[in-house]
Each structure stands twice: as C-alpha cells, then as structure tokens.
Structure 1
C-alpha cells in the first residue's frame, strides 16, 4: 500500500505529459537524474544477478548437478539478453503474459490443495515474534522486493513508448490507469496467495532454508510437495522457474533501458543514440552480473538478501523524487495527486525513512 503511489506516478506522469518519468527527473534538476543513474547502476547489477542465480538454481532442481548452477545462471543471462536484443519489447511482453498466467494458475491450484491438507504446524506451535529488533533486518529484506523495488516505476514509463512503437497508439491516462490497477490488484492477490501458502506449508515445519543453491531449490520444492503430494513437484518447480526466468528477462530489459534513457537525457550528444546505448548497457549488465554470480555461487541467500536490502534503503530517495516530479508545474492540475494520494505518499516516504534508519541502527549501532 505504501509503495503504491510511487509506482502509479510512473505511468500517470507519462500519460499526462507525454514524456518519460526520467525526463521529469531532469526537469527537477540534473542532480535528481544523476542520483537515479547511480542507484540504478548499483541495484540493477545486483538485482539482475540475484534473480538470475535463483533462476539457475531452480533450473538445477530438475535433476541436474548442483555444481553446474553457475553455468546454468550464465546461460540464462545470455539467453535473456539475446531474446531482448533480437526480439525487443514485443516478444518480452508476450512471453511475460504467458508466464504470469502459468504462475497464477499453478499458485492457485497449489493453494487450494494446501487448504485441503491444513497447516503443517502443530496446534501448540508458537513462532518467533516479528516485533523485535532481531527481526528488523528480515523485515527490511522482505519489503525490499515487495512487490518490487521502487526504481521499477521508471520502467513502466519507458515501456509505454515501446508499446506505442509496436501498436502505433499512445495510451491515455484512463487506459494506463486500467492497466496499472489490473496489474497491481493481481500482484496483491498473488501476494496473499503466497502468504497463505507460506503459512500452511512452511511456517512451523521446523525446516530452515539452506543458503546454498541446489539445497535451497530442493528444499523449497520439497516443502510444497511434502504437503501437497509428490506429483506436484514439477508443477511447483515449473511455476517458480518460469517466474524467475521472466523476472530475469524483465530486469535485463528494464535496468539497461532506464540507464540508456538516463544517458540520453544527461548529455545532448546522446539524445538520438538510445538503441546503441541500450545495447551497450545490456552487455555491461550481463557481464557484471556473471561476475557477481561466480563470486556468490556458494551463498545464494546472502546475495538475495543484500540485493533486497539495497533496494529498500534506496526507496526513500526514489519515492521522494517520484512525488516531486508528479507535482511538477508541467503536470496538469487535474492529473496531480489529490489529498488522499498526497497523504499516502508522505506516509510512505516517512515509513521508508524510519525503516531505513532502524535498519542502520540495528545493523551498525545496536550491539
């Protein structure tokens, strides 16, 4: 709920003004654009490496040798990069829709079956409290990627121009709102479904997720199949792998796209060279991600945790910039945030700041 306004602003700003959210950053001052560029370079490479490694780990769960995970991960990165470089937005858009439908159906089927079996936790099981300082870093980690890092708001803005190139139609404010709310509501429904699955088949099981790759994927799938049935292993594994493969492809398209768009705005000499700059950023991102994967090959959870935390502690900055841009003088008054959206925006910014300060206190100050 607290991230919702800042994702909404990405599409609404573009529909209302006809320019990208990043162009709005530049209107507020180059410092804002450079801030986004710096954050995006850091989070982009880490997040891409994290989701790609999780994809490779899940792929190894089909019965392959766990020592091959780095090779699988690098292969996935290269395949995704090739698809984007050759197929561009249209293929990405179509494949993402198919995968989302597969994930949604698989998740709902798994949830229905889990309900018939009931919770795996014993009646007298009492879990540890989330309302302690010890649990604080985990809460920040969890919130970093839920439902996504805030810098993804720039992606939806840029994708509107890609969709215009494919369809010949630039979406109106009303059309983008319908598209946005459908996606956001579906994300909320899936979040509740995953939460319910966790409560039914993981919470209270006594299992602790392994930090290594193959152990992690095997354990994750087994936690589902042990309560639903062995036959469900391929279903769960395929849903998980499809989701992460799609996410990897989205990251390899989204981060370089936003970096390239930022470069074209930073200097006039780059204005008409978006596509070559975009391709260069794809190559650089994939190479850097491959190096990170090789470094973190023995500790998947450490990489994912670090990526999620970095995404969260940058949230206050990006949230404030999005809010400032949406209230710019070039935005029609009727399209600017109303009282409720303003209240939600400031509540979100305050929440992100307090949680970030709390994380720094627990991690570096409190003994």
Structure 2
C-alpha cells in the first residue's frame, strides 16, 4: 500500500504546470488507466455483438459513443483539479435530498452498481474460460480462482504507478493485436471496402428485433462510460494534478497553476480518446466483416469464444488462433484489473459518504481499499458462476452504465454552473462539445429507461 496520502493537498506538493510538450508527456497517465478499462468488454463483446447483428451500418453508433462523452469527463476533471475533491465528496454537495449522511446521487450509484456486477462478473468469467481453452489441462473453475487472485494482487498494492505502467502495456498490446488483425483481414474474402465504411456514416438505425437494447448497451460500454468518468477523478488526484495545483487561495498564482494543469488534463483525456476511438472502431470493423450474420452470439462463455475464435481462424487462417487467444486475454484482463482498481476507490469513497468509514483518514481508507480488492473480485466470480451468460450479463451492465451517465450528466451540469463565476473560463468549442455531449447522453439514458418498459 502507498505510504503517503495521495489525496492530501499539502503546500509542499505544489508544482508549476509543464510548459513544453516533452514535459507535458511525463504527466500523462490517468487517461491510459481509463483506456485500459474502456477498451475491453465493450470491444470484444458489445462492439462485436453490434457488428455481428447490425453490420457496418451501425459504425456511427460507435463513433458517436467514443467522441461525445469526453466533454463531460473534462468537466469532472476540472472539478477534481480545482477542489481536490473525490467524486463522491463532490456528489455529496449536489442539490437534492439526503438519505442519512449521503446525497441521493450516492445511493443511486450504489444501487445501479449492483447491476454492474453482472458485467464485470462476465468479464472475469470469460478470462477464465479463455485460459481454459488455451490451456485445457486446468479447469475454468481453477482458472477463475487464479484470475481473481491475480487481479486482487495487482490492485491490493494500491500504487498508482503500477496501474499506470500495466495499463500502458495492455493498451499497446491490444492496439497492436487489433490493427494487425485488421491488416490481415484485407488479404481475405472478407476485406473491408470504402462502401462498407461510408454505409456506417449515414446515421441509420439498425433494423431488427432487439436492436435497441444492443445499441444502448454498445453506447454505454464503448467510449468513456458513466462509471469511468467518475473514476477519472481518482486517477487525476493520484497522479498529482490536484496537489500540484494546491488549495484555492484566490491568488493569481493559483489561477495560473489551475489553468496549466487543466490544460495538461485536456491533452491526457483527448489523447486517450483518440486511442480508444481508433481501437474501438477497428474492433467494430473486424466484427462486422467477420461476424455479420454468422454464429450465435447469445450463448454461454465457452461457446461464445469458440464462435469468435472459429470465425477468426476460418477467415485469417489457423495461425490466427493463438493471436486471438492472446488478444482476447489482454482485452478482457485489462478491463478486469482496471475496473477493480476503480471500484475499490469508488466504493470506499461512497461508503465513506454513507458513514461506514472516514474516507479522509488515510489508515482507514487503506484498510478498506485492501479489503475490497479481495471482496469485489470474489463477488464477480460468484456472479459468473451463478449466471454464466456473458453476452447478456455484459449488455445488461452496459444499459446500467447508460443510466449512470444520467446521474453523471446531472452532476457535470451542476459543477459547470458552480464554476461560472470562476476565473477558469472555457472557450466556445468546449461549450458546444459539452452541450452536444449532454444532449446525446440524455437521449440515450432516457431511451435506456424506456426500453425496459416498452
């Protein structure tokens, strides 16, 4: 565990923001951890399912999902840098009733996260099934135990730097795998044409029964989701963006530092957005080219992965099988460990607002982080063993993520309004992006709720 509290704002931690690109690059990182979480279940499952069911015509859904939500993420990031507050410390100051010590938004998140256990339970289960397929000498049950121990061991250390390095490594590996597969595809009968690409940019709603829930799930799971926007603040704080800025003392020096570190945060978030957008679109193109109209993608974990593996090898050749196993493992494992890192912080923070612990007490927080690093993946494993329907579990989790986005949107609008008298101003491009992002999130969030009843 960390020996110093990364959430304290001490004057000794204040650092002037970098002024050159070379120095700025050294301070990037929070977006990489976010990308490791983003490029995972959304790509291998939701994006694959959307491509398999709708074909190239749905590519615009993926692009919109990846591009429009980043403005809301930036608003959350500004809040963290300017105040040093964690996500739920900020949520607890939002308008509306409190139940006990916690704001209604904290309780809403806790309820919706119960559904999210389905999503990550499916991911952990798929990792174990995948390892069993690659190494059948060990049963998927024992692989499940090994996976739980592995991700718990990574996260229980509590060190931000370990998470950042592992995330960057994972991102690099699955980016190479994805584009290598896409290039190899072009020498086969399933090669992607310009007509395929343009058909996906016409903003047509895919036809077919049940497509609404698939589209909503894909929107929730691809790009930065509601829970990932909320997690971004912890990574910014632990990287040092807030402590580098220092407490707001109303001076011109503080305003200058805040503007400088917010600029670094913009670069971090936008660079991460470019990476996960390119990889997500590449995954979607693979899914549409290889899988559209083929196979059953609502089956159990092993059958689902076998369908994917068989289609990859049938199209690209038998040599592609180990590459598929490796790429799928990297994608799913990166989601599992980065999700656990975020969940331990979020749940500890939320439980602190409810009154189960004093989040600001460093010793108490470390104990809860370590405990949850073991309890949460154990619950994921139990959920997987109970349901064992990974596609359904992940898509339902994506719908929950879309609804969480409504809570996130409400918070972002309030944060923005509270900042209007601040010296930290935003330009016209940001304003347009923020309100466009808000409109899209509101539309899909309401659609998610209505789809449950209609």
TM-score grouping bracket, smaller chain normalisation: 0.7 to 0.9
Work out whether residues 88 and 349 of structure 2, in 8 Å CA contact, stay in contact via their aligned partners in 1.
yes
Give the drift of 1:63. 4.1
Aligned to 2:407: 317
TM-score (norm 1): 0.85
> Is 2:398 the partner of 1:332?
no
Q: CA deviation digits over 1:156-193, x for unaligned, max 9?
A: 1101222239xx85681111111110001111111211
Structure 1 unpaired stretches of 5+: 122-128, 363-367
What corresponds to 1:286 in structure 2?
377
Q: TM-score, normalised by structure 2?
A: 0.70
Counting matched residue pairs gives 352
Alignment partner of 1:191 is 2:267: no
Does 1:231 pair with 2:307?
no
Q: How does 1:142-157 map to 2 (within 5 A)?
A: 142-157=218-233
Map residues 206-245 of structure 1 onto 2, 5 A cutoff. 206-209=294-297, 211-245=299-333
Say whether residues 1:5 and 2:71 are aligned partners.
yes
Change (3 A) 1:18 1:335: farther
Separation (CA, whole Å) in 2 of partners of 1:5 and 1:181? 9
**2:142 equivalent to 1:35:** no
The one-character-per-residue Cα deviations of 1:14-64 (angstroms, maximum 9, x if unpaired) are 123333333221222542452354146424533331221121122222141
Q: Distance in 1 between matches of 2:191 and 2:292?
A: 7
1:97 aligned partner: 168
Partner secondary structure for residue 222 of structure 2: coil
Aligned to 2:216: 140
1:1-367 matched pairs, under 5 angstroms:
1-29=67-95, 30-35=102-107, 37-39=109-111, 41-64=113-136, 68-86=139-157, 88-119=159-190, 130-132=206-208, 134-164=210-240, 172-204=261-293, 206-209=294-297, 211-267=299-355, 269-272=358-361, 273-297=364-388, 299-329=389-419, 332=422, 334-335=424-425, 338-362=430-454
RMSD: 2.9
216-225 or 206-215: bigger deviation: 206-215
Equivalent-residue separation in structure 2 for 1:38 and 1:24 (angstroms): 15
- Is 1:323–1:345's contact at 8 Å kept on the other side of the alignment? no
Contact 1:10 1:154 in 2 (8 A): yes
How far off its partner does 1:119 sit? 2.0
Point out where structure 2 has 5 or more consecutive residues left out of the alignment. 1-66, 96-101, 193-204, 246-259
Say which structure is richer in helix. 1
